[in-house]
Structure 1
Amino acid sequence: MRTVFRQTMGRESVDMESALARLLDVLMIAMAAALARLLPAGEGHPILEGAFVALDMALAMMLLPWFGVYESWRGRSKLHLTLNVVAGWIVVQLCGLAMMFLLHRAGLLSRIWCVRWTVITAMLLVASRLLIHAMLGRIRRAGRNLRMVAVVGSGAHRDGVLASIAASTDSGFRAVATFDPLHGETVADAGLSSFSELRDFANWVRRERTEEVWLAMPMSQEHAVLRIVEEFSGDLVNLRFIPDVRALAMFDRNVVELVGLPAINLMASPMTPHALMQKALFDRVFAAAALLALSPVMLLVAAAIKLTSRGPVLFSQRRMGADGNVFRIYKFRSMRVHAQQDGVVHQATRLDPRITRVGAFLRRTSLDELPQFFNVLRGQMSVVGPRPHAIEHDDQYRTIVDGYIHRYRIKPGITGWAQVNGFRGETDRVEKMQARVEHDLYYLRNWSFALDMRIVAATVVRGLVDRNAY
């Protein structure tokens, strides 16, 4: 009964904190709208703007939890929290604006006020969380609001976990004991209680009311893990497994749930369904906006192609998409119509005679890629991701370039981390393709909404004109 009571009280406390955090966010959205209106702004409809604010408040209540901003961030990256908050608010605002467009009321809103409100709200949402975490960090550095951690394991992996805890003084965790179930060795550290016997270790954990026991052990030590789990099966202790899988995993070792069971991804898409949903939502909104804004440019490009060379305006080619699904990618035609041998693709080279004058300009400025926003709208591509190659090149490189096929764990992109770092154009040597793949895998391992924004900005600033694009 005591166990049930403590668990119930813990859930109620978490639910209350989450409810208060949501209420605070909604109030800050309203306050930011009022602050934005106090400053000089363009003409707007006050009643309609009030309805827009109310709509965004409701959307925030529904959408922000998807971005994990109300979960416990003890020991987790504050930068990721900040990015999640900003990304969540941008999605809320975009959805609100989309509703206004559908109702044909967007034209009655003051654009200056709307932009100002968006920025002020983002600043308030981030500042409030950073302030709370700064206060908690100060409290934790003073030795309060800490969770005591006993680390089980041996060797370099255990030492790395202990070092990470010690270095994260604001995280709210403090290592207080170690136990080596494999070799029975103790740690010579005055600040840690060290044990070589499980019974002594377990009794100490219970006596000192230690909240956390972290198992920093290899995956092969199943028997030792089961012994510890069985020992603490009747205790209110958080047992967390931090396996040493560095030599096995292709990407970050995130834990997922499969048919109700926890699973560690060793070789699977490193992006969670939640992250993919964020990315897909951004892709569709950005692609629609880009096509609307660039439609005059696309019409001029189409006319220039048609007037200067024979053949269709668009060129299409089969490419591999996410999880190996094949689709047809669209580009503005930049070459003269020519016969091509089945199963053989000849990459464009510098001074390639097949490229037209207009085509050379389009390829150099990447304007030939604009029709791919239609691929994005159809869900076949992303705005940012690894660039897709011809299927013939996939067959060639997947066996000779390490990690090549893992580029297709997510949707290919119009631009990517490799492209903004100079890896564009012809890959006439395997080393070039290897470097491109390494950049693509870095993107998959480190994806964030902020990284996508950085790549988009870099594409606009310096990626549109590149000496390697021909």
Structure 2
Amino acid sequence: MRHRYSILFFPLHVIVDFLSLNTAFVGAYFIKFQQLEAVFQPPYTSLWVLFNVVWLAEILVLKPYIYPRQLFKAYHLIKKLLILMAIHIAIISVYWVAVKGYYYSREHLFITYILFTGLAAAFRIGSVLFLQEYRARGYNNRRYVIVGYGKLAASIQSFYDTHPEMGFRFHGYFDQPSADNKGILRGGYDDLYACIESDGIDCVYCCMPYIDNGRMKTIVENAENVDYQVKLLVDFRGFLARGASVEYHDFLPVLSLSSQMLADFQVNTLKRSFDILFSMAALGLGLPLFLILAAITRFTSKGPIFYAQERIGQEGKPFKIYKFRSMYVNSEKSGPVLSGGLLDARITPWGRFMRSTRLDEVPQFYNVLIGDMSVVGPRPERQYFIDQIVEIAPEYRSLLKVKPGITSIGQIKYGYAANIDEMVQRLRYDLLYPKRRSFLFDMWIIAQTLRVMAQGRGK
């Protein structure tokens, strides 16, 4: 009989865990009280029985000893053990409060769980090490074949060849013979079932790119009679790297491909929550400073305090961006012109100071609060300049997939751009953001921005 010892793994785990639990309970009592008589008498017998009943219930309900070979690793086993322990502790705690069992020693309970965790974890680690070595020596194997030959098929064979501790042994490729697979196949589709019966094959991997649905259906239907597993190999690697997700239409899995690489719910939720809190704090706590900046802007040059301009935001949606005015009025009456840096004659003396310290950007916290922008993100540009940038660097379009920000890597490393070529150079920095975006990375960019502001190095 194949794998005649595998059936023993489940009862062995159960027996060892119960032995560990009871040894820990009695051993902890001895460590605490230096005697064992009372542990066999009420009220400790009731608690002892409950310990075992709760653990048995967890085994029956959660089935913690059922796992595939690929997950038979110390990390997964210890993690599952800790989950079981947490549930066990919670139930015993509820019982302790319900019966007002203050006569039970808390130190005894604490030592019991420490001992049990140590014993159970030691057994699991020992089991992993033993089985890995046992399987690497050629015992307790699972025999598999691959139907459909190609790069994907070769990759699964390579994976198991480099992990002999998993105990998977390769028994050949099966496919329609051709010039590409000559000398590689063990046989064609008609030879597959004879191999399964003669070699006692446990698992048949079907490579979806290289096998048609009709043949795969036959393989699946035959599995019920011959007793082997069928596993499908689908090459999602290129899609998953582009932000694909799996949806379920009733029982039918559907792979959803999206160009929105950064539609990660957790990151976006955390980022938006931070944006709201940070912008509210900045606008609230910085109000006295903003009033001073507004007054100085108003009295140092003629014109409005704020400057509003249309920019392009996420997914190409236009919005109005707000700044403290740093240029003389009507500086662009002849058409859109990029700033020539701090020496640009259109910039007011006070505007040069605000630009070097980035204080002119402060009103954009209002844009953040209403959702047009984020605190951290690529700088938004006007459509007029975007059209010119895209002609030189088409990859700029990827930046429109994320929300623009007040500060960015490009603003820190490069600063303001005076022409299209400089905008493209700054773009090289900003293109790093979508690939590395995270909450901690945002914090680093904000810290660097504050340093630039304090040093007055904005340009």
* Smaller-chain TM-score bracket: 0.5 to 0.7
Are 1:181 and 1:224, in contact at CA under 8 Å, matched by a contact in 2? no
Residue of structure 1 in register with 2:434 after alignment: 444
C-alpha deviation, 1:363, in angstroms: 1.1
Instruction: Tell whether 2:447 aligns with 1:457.
Output: yes
Distance 1:239 1:222 in 2: 11
Are 2:389 and 2:424, in contact at CA under 8 Å, matched by a contact in 1? no
Are 1:254 and 1:270, in contact at CA under 8 Å, matched by a contact in 2? no
From 219, 234, 238, the counterpart of 1:231? 219
Summarize the Cα distance change of 1:262–1:384 in structure 2 as closer, same or farther, 3 Å threshold.
farther
Are 2:417 and 2:426, in contact at CA under 8 Å, matched by a contact in 1? no
Instruction: Tell whether 2:366 aligns with 1:374.
Output: yes
Are 2:206 and 2:216, in contact at CA under 8 Å, matched by a contact in 1? no
Per-residue CA deviations over 1:59-98 (Å, capped at 9, x if unaligned) read xxxxxxxxxxxxxx979xx9xxxxxxxxxxxxxxxxxxxx
Are 2:242 and 2:259, in contact at CA under 8 Å, matched by a contact in 1? no
Instruction: Tell whether 2:245 aligns with 1:252.
Output: no
Per-residue CA deviations over 1:192-248 (Å, capped at 9, x if unaligned) read xx86656777876995655x9585x7xxx37557754763476765535233538xx
Residue of structure 2 in register with 1:418 after alignment: 410
Distance 2:418 2:286 in 1: 30
Residue of structure 2 in register with 1:398 after alignment: 390
C-alpha deviation, 1:364, in angstroms: 1.4
Distance 1:309 1:427 in 2: 23
C-alpha deviation, 1:393, in angstroms: 0.9
From 232, 235, 240, the counterpart of 1:242? 235
Per-residue CA deviations over 1:134-169 (Å, capped at 9, x if unaligned) read x9999767656x998987776666666777788899
Are 1:322 and 1:409, in contact at CA under 8 Å, matched by a contact in 2? yes
Correspondence 1:73-92 to 2 at 5 A: none
Residue of structure 2 in register with 1:296 after alignment: 288
C-alpha deviation, 1:305, in angstroms: 1.0
Are 1:403 and 1:437, in contact at CA under 8 Å, matched by a contact in 2? no
Distance 2:315 2:127 in 1: 47
Summarize the Cα distance change of 1:367–1:208 in structure 2 as closer, same or farther, 3 Å threshold.
farther
C-alpha deviation, 1:391, in angstroms: 2.0
Per-residue CA deviations over 1:295-346 (Å, capped at 9, x if unaligned) read 232222212211211111111111111111111011111111125247x321
Question: Counterpart amino acid of 1:241?
Answer: V
SS of alignment partner, residue 304 of structure 2: coil
Correspondence 1:61-460 to 2 at 5 A: 143=131, 177=170, 179=173, 181=175, 185=181, 197=188, 209-210=202-203, 215=207, 221=209, 224=212, 227-228=215-216, 231-232=219-220, 239=232, 241-243=234-236, 245=238, 252-257=242-247, 262-265=254-257, 267-341=259-333, 344-350=335-341, 351-420=343-412, 422-426=413-417, 428-430=419-421, 432-460=422-450
Residue of structure 1 in register with 2:47 after alignment: none
Are 1:398 and 1:405, in contact at CA under 8 Å, matched by a contact in 2? yes
Distance 2:274 2:321 in 1: 20
Q: Which moved more, 1:432-441 or 1:405-414?
A: 432-441
Summarize the Cα distance change of 1:366–1:173 in structure 2 as closer, same or farther, 3 Å threshold.
farther
Unaligned runs of 5+ in 2: 1-69, 76-120, 136-140
Residue of structure 2 in register with 1:32 after alignment: none
Are 1:407 and 1:437, in contact at CA under 8 Å, matched by a contact in 2? no
Q: What TM-score results when the alignment is normalised by the length of structure 1?
A: 0.55
Summarize the Cα distance change of 1:400–1:238 in structure 2 as closer, same or farther, 3 Å threshold.
same
Distance 1:307 1:375 in 2: 25
Distance 1:463 1:137 in 2: 53
Summarize the Cα distance change of 1:367–1:161 in structure 2 as closer, same or farther, 3 Å threshold.
farther
Are 2:206 and 2:233, in contact at CA under 8 Å, matched by a contact in 1? yes
Are 1:401 and 1:433, in contact at CA under 8 Å, matched by a contact in 2? no
Summarize the Cα distance change of 1:278–1:336 in structure 2 as closer, same or farther, 3 Å threshold.
same
Summarize the Cα distance change of 1:364–1:179 in structure 2 as closer, same or farther, 3 Å threshold.
farther
Are 1:334 and 1:362, in contact at CA under 8 Å, matched by a contact in 2? yes
Distance 1:464 1:163 in 2: 55
Distance 2:166 2:192 in 1: 19
C-alpha deviation, 1:254, in angstroms: 2.8
Question: Counterpart amino acid of 1:359?
Answer: G
Are 1:418 and 1:436, in contact at CA under 8 Å, matched by a contact in 2? yes
Question: Counterpart amino acid of 1:346?
Answer: V
Distance 2:160 2:452 in 1: 41
Q: What TM-score results when the alignment is normalised by the length of structure 2?
A: 0.56
Question: Counterpart amino acid of 1:444?
Answer: P
C-alpha deviation, 1:437, in angstroms: 3.4
Give the helix-richer structure, 1 or 2: 2
Are 2:314 and 2:404, in contact at CA under 8 Å, matched by a contact in 1? yes
C-alpha deviation, 1:419, in angstroms: 2.9
Distance 2:190 2:183 in 1: 17
C-alpha deviation, 1:276, in angstroms: 2.2
* Pairwise CA RMSD: 4.7
Unaligned runs of 5+ in 1: 1-72, 79-132, 189-193
Q: How many residues align?
A: 324
Question: Counterpart amino acid of 1:353?
Answer: A
Question: Counterpart amino acid of 1:299?
Answer: L
Question: Counterpart amino acid of 1:288?
Answer: M
Question: Counterpart amino acid of 2:384?
Answer: E
Name which one, 1 or 2, has greater alpha-carbon Rg. Answer: 2
Are 1:186 and 1:195, in contact at CA under 8 Å, matched by a contact in 2? no
Are 2:303 and 2:329, in contact at CA under 8 Å, matched by a contact in 1? yes
Are 1:336 and 1:355, in contact at CA under 8 Å, matched by a contact in 2? yes
